[in-house]
Amino acid sequence: MNPVKTYLADHADRLDFYTQAITNAHGAHHPEVFAVRDQYIQLRADSANDRQLADNFAQLRATTHDYAIPNDVCPVFKATYHMLAKADALNAQA
């Protein structure tokens, strides 16, 4: 298994919970988190099916403005974007 797929598998429970949690907590003021959630679900599916993930991460970078963290968000939001950015970086190195 390559590093990004290992990282995503190791963090799947947390990322699944966090991406859902940020939609509940921040969706009203940051509607992009709904797209982040959907894109994460697709990323996990593509990873599980051994597909290339470059397009998935390109979509996430566009949606999140390169994982820019708004000033008015909670630590879970920050952690979510940091984990997704880490997975993206691992994918870029592969």
Q: What is the pTM of this model?
A: 0.95
pLDDT tens column, 22-59: 999 999 999 999 999 999 999 999 999 999 999 999 99
Angstrom distances, CA of residue 25 to CA of 46, 52, 54, 76, 89: 27, 31, 28, 10, 27
pLDDT tens column, 51-89: 999 999 999 999 999 999 999 999 999 999 999 999 999
